[in-house]
A and B are shown apart, each in its own frame.
Chain A
Amino acid sequence: MSHSHPLLARTGRGIMLASAAALVLASCSNESDSSEPAAEGAEITYWLWDSNQQPAYQLCADQFESETGISVTIEQYGWADYWQGLTTGFASGTAPDVFADHLSYYPEFVAQGQLLDISDRVEADGVDLSIYQDGLADLWVDQDGGRYGLPKDFDTVALFYNEQLVTEAGYTADQLAELTWSPDGSGSYDELIAALTVDANGVRGNEAGFDPDNVAVYGLALSGNGLNASGQQTWAPYALGNDWYFGDTTPWTTQWNFDSPEFAETIEWYKSLQDRGFMPSVDIALSELDPLNGYLAGRYALVTDGSWMNTSYLGQTDVPTLVAPSPIGPSGERASVFNGLSDAIWAGTDEPDAAWEWVKYLGSAACQDVVAESAVVFPAVKTSTEIATQAFADKGWDVTGFTVQVDEGTTALLPIADHWSEINDTVSAAVESYLQGSADASAFTQANDQVNALFE
C-alpha cells in the first residue's frame, strides 16, 4: 500500500518516478480442482499500485488458480497513473474486474455506481468478518448498508529515529517508547526534540545561545505531503491524542471539528516547534520531495511517518534507524490514524462470480499470510498481522511501534466522507497559512464552516 492517501497526498510524486507500468501474466497452470464450476476457466484482471507487493500477490494468484481454475492477470501502475487509469477505465468500460481500493477514493466511486455491492455474497458465503483487525471491515459499508470491499491491509503512524543522534543527545530506546507531549510544551517529547536539534554552531536546542534561525539538524521533520486534511504523518497523531476527532462519526462524516479548541491548540503547539527552530518551516517542508531525503542526509533526527515507509527507512543502511511509537498525549493515550485498504469489484465486470471468488481469497488468511511473509505491509487479518510482525523482526526490523497502536486500541479511523477532495484543499490551505503565520486560528473556524457547508 505504498502511499497513504490519494487526493490528500500531493499526487505521489515519488511514486510517479517509479510508475513504469509492469504487466505480469499469471502463469498458466492447468491443474484445476474444478471446485467452482460456475467460474472455472474464467479470466479476470486485478490492479494494484504497490510494486513491492506484486510478487506476494502473484503467489496468491498462482495458488488461487490451482485451487479454482480461475486465472488472474495482475497489473501494476504507479500511484498517480493508477487512479487516472481507473476513472478513465470506468468511463470507457475497460476497468479491471478487481482492484486495490483506498478509503479516500471509494465514497466517490460508490456515488458514481462503479463498485459492486458484495453484502449479499458475504452473507451467502458466510464470510467471517471478525478475523480482521477491529473496525476495518466496517469501513467499506456505505450509508445504505451496501458493502464494497473486504479488508486487505492497514497502516498506522510512528516515529522513525536516527539511533546515533538520539544516543548522542543522551536518550535511550526505552525513554523513546514512553514519550509524552502537551500543548503547553511541557512534555518529554518537547525536551527530546529540543535536545536533538543542533544549530550551525553546534549548540543544542535546549542549551543557552541556541540560534533558531540557523539550524543544522532539526529535531523533528515536517512532511509537506502530510499537511492535508487527515494530517496522518503530521499533526493528527497529536490532535487525536488531545481528545479530538475529525468529525461527528466515520465512515460518512458530515459535521467536522476543525474549529474545536483542541484542534487549534494542537496546531498552535505544532507551529511553536517551528518558531522555536526545532522543526523546519512549512516553506521548507513544501519545497521538499519527501523528508526521507533530509533524514538520510542527517538533517532530521525524528520523522513521523506511516508503516508503508518501513522499507524506505528500515531497509537502508546509511542511517541506523529504529521505530518508536508516537508520544502519549493529554488524553493519557498515544494515537495514530488507522488507514485501511480493500479489494473491490468493479460494477461493470463480466465475471462477477469469479471476481468475488478472488476477492474472497485475497481477504482470506491463506493469501494474507503469504503477503505477511513478504514483510512489506501489515495484512488486515489479525493472525496475518502477527505473522507480518514476525517477518519484519526476522529482517531485523522492530516495527512494534506501529502495531502497539492496534494492540492498545489507540487508533482512530481515517475520516471517510463525500467531497473529500474539496475538504482536503480547504483544510490544507488553512493549516498551511496558519503554519506560515499568514493567518490566525480563525482560519480553522472559517475552513470548518466551509467544509460543513458542503454537507448542507
Chain B
Amino acid sequence: MAAAPGTAPRTRGRPRSDLRIALLFIAPASVGYVAFYLMPALRGLWFSFTDQNLIGTGDFIGTANYERMFGDDLFWNALWVTVQYVLINIGVQMVLAIAVAVLLHRLTRSVVIRGIVLLPYLVANVVVALVWFWMSDYSIGIVNVVLEEIGLDRVAFFGNPATAIATIALINVWRFLGYTALLLFAGLQMIPQQYYEAAALDGASEWRMFWRITLPLLRPVLALVLVISVVGSFQIFDTVAVTTEGGPVNATRVIYYYIYQQAFERFDLGYASAIAVFLVVLLAGIAYFQLKIMRSDRSDLA
C-alpha cells in the first residue's frame, strides 16, 4: 500500500539498529562457542602452567611444563612423526583429489558416481582403521594373501618402522580422498564453462586447459581446502590409537596420541595441556602462512 500523502517517511529514529536482532540470532552459537570451545581452551591454557592431574587441583608451576617439553626427545619425535604423516597424507591426497575432481568435472555429470567417490568418508574412522588393520594382517590379511599369490613377499605394514606411518597415512588418504575431491569439485563448478569452450575452439589440449585454466582459477578454493586438510591431518589420532598405539618403538607416536597418553594414561594434564597449546600455536602459524602465500583472499575470476 502506498504511503498516504502527508505522512512523510519517518527517517528520524532510523536507521534502526539490527544489532539486537543480530545478537539474538548468533546467541545460540555464541553460547555453544563460549561453553564448549573458549572456556575449555582457556582452562587448558591455565592448566599448561600448573601441575594439574586428572582429579584434584593443580598448583601454578610457571613455565616448567614448557621447559620439560622442549627437552623431551619423545615430544620432538612425536612432532617429527606427525610431520611425516602430514606430508605423505596431504601430498598424496591433494594430487589424487585434484585428479578425481577434474575427472568428475570434465567427464561425468552422474550423481551416483559422485556418491560412490564419497563412500569411504561415510565409514567411521575407527572402523576404517580396524578393517584395514585386519586386511593387512601379516598372517591372514587379504592384502598379504594377494601379495603372496602374485609372487611378492608379504609385508608387515603396521609392524615395520619404515612402513608403519606411511601405511596409516595412506589409509587416511583412502578415507578422505572422496571428501576432498568433492570440495574441489564444487570449486571447479564455479569456473565459467565459456573458458573451456573458448580454449577448445583455439585447439588447446585438456592438459593445457588444466594448467592454464583450471588450476589458476581453482587457487582460492584449493588454498582453503589445503588449510582445512593440513589442520585436520595434524590431528591424526584414532587410526594410531586402534592400530599401532605409537609403535613399533616410537615410529607412529604422533603428537595427539602423545598428548592423550600424558593426559589419560599418566594423568599429567598440565604437561598434556602444554603440548596442546604448542600445537595450537603451530597450527595457527601454518594456516596463516598457507593462506598468505596462496593469496586465497583474491580470485583471478574477479
Identify the stretch in B1-9, B35-43, B152-160, B209-217 within 8 Å (CB) of chain A at 4 or more residues: B152-160
Q: Does B63 contact A (CB under 8 A)?
A: no
User: Is A226 positioned at the interface, with any CB of B under 8 Å from its CB?
Assistant: no
Q: Which residues of B contact A286 (CB under 8 A)?
A: 156, 158-159, 244, 247-248
B145-184 interface (Cβ within 8 A of A):
156-161
Whole-angstrom CA separation of A299 from B144 in the bound complex? 14
B residues contacting the other copy or chain, number (CB 8 A) = 34
Residues of A within 8 A of B33 (CB): none
Report the Cα distance A289→B156, complex, angstroms. 12
Whether B286 is near chain A, meaning CB under 8 Å from some CB there, is no
Q: Which stretch (A5-13, A310-318, A372-380) binds chain B?
A: A5-13
> Please, which residues of chain A bring their CB within 8 A of the CB of B266?
419, 421-422
202-233 of chain B: CB within 8 A of chain A: none
Q: Is the interface of A mostly helix, strand, loop or mixed?
A: helix
Residue pair A114, B55 in contact (C-beta under 8 Å): yes
Provide the bound-state CA to CA distance between A249 and B299, in Å: 70
* CB-based contact A436/B245 at 8 Å: no
User: Is B278 an interface residue when CB atoms closer than 8 A count as contact?
Assistant: no
Contact A283 B248, beta carbon cutoff 8 Å: yes
- B13-50 vs A, CB cutoff 8 Å, 1 = contact: the mask equals 00000000000000000000000000000000000000
The residue that A280 contacts in the complex, of B56, B138, B140, B248, with Cβ under 8 A, is B138
Minimum C-beta distance from B171 to chain A (A)? 13
Shortest distance between the CB of B30 and any CB in chain A (Å): 25
Instruction: Tell me if B136 counts as interface (CB < 8 A to partner A).
Output: yes
Quick check: B249 and A112 within 8 Å, CB to CB? no
* B159–A287 CB distance below 8 A: yes
Whether A287 pairs with B265 at a CB distance below 8 angstroms is no
A residues 430-445 touching B (CB-CB < 8 Å)? 432-433, 436, 438
Find out whether the CB atom of B264 lies under 8 angstroms from the CB atom of A10: no
Q: Are A287 and B242 in contact (CB under 8 A)?
A: no
List A contacts of B53 (CB < 8 A): 112
**Interface contact A293-B159, CB-CB below 8 Å:** no
In the bound complex, how far is the Cα of B50 from the Cα of A241, in angstroms? 45
Does A143 have its Cβ within 8 Å of any Cβ on chain B? no
User: B261 near A: Cβ within 8 Å?
Assistant: yes
Q: How far is the CB of A327 from chain B (nearest CB, A)?
A: 24
Residue in A114, A289, A432 whose beta carbon sits within 8 Å of that of B133 in the complex: A289
Complex alpha-carbon distance, A421 and B130, angstroms:
24
Complex alpha-carbon distance, A219 and B241, angstroms: 31
Which among A91, A114, A281, A432 is the interface contact of B247 at CB below 8 angstroms?
A: A432
A108 within 8 A of B: yes
Are B242 and A293 interface neighbours, CB within 8 A?
no
Contact indicator B55/A113 (Cβ below 8 Å): yes
Residues from chain B with a CB closer than 8 A to the CB of A112 are 53-56, 267
Q: How far apart are the CA atoms of A437 and B6 in the complex, in Å? A: 97
Listed A/B pairs (30) with beta-carbon separation below 8 Å: A10-B245, A11-B242, A13-B242, A16-B242, A87-B54, A87-B264, A90-B55, A108-B267, A112-B55, A112-B56, A224-B159, A281-B159, A282-B159, A283-B159, A283-B161, A284-B159, A287-B136, A287-B138, A287-B156, A287-B159, A287-B160, A288-B138, A289-B133, A294-B138, A297-B140, A421-B266, A425-B261, A428-B247, A429-B249, A436-B248
**Residues of chain B having any CB pair with chain A under 8 Å:** 53-56, 126, 130, 133-134, 136-140, 156-161, 241-250, 261, 264-267
Measured CB to CB, the residues of A under 8 A from B are 7, 10-11, 13, 16-17, 84, 87, 90-91, 108, 112-114, 224, 280-289, 293-294, 297, 299-300, 419, 421-422, 425, 428-429, 432-433, 436, 438
Which 8 pairs across A and B sit closest by C-beta, in order of nearness? A287-B159, A286-B159, A294-B139, A283-B156, A283-B159, A287-B156, A10-B245, A287-B158
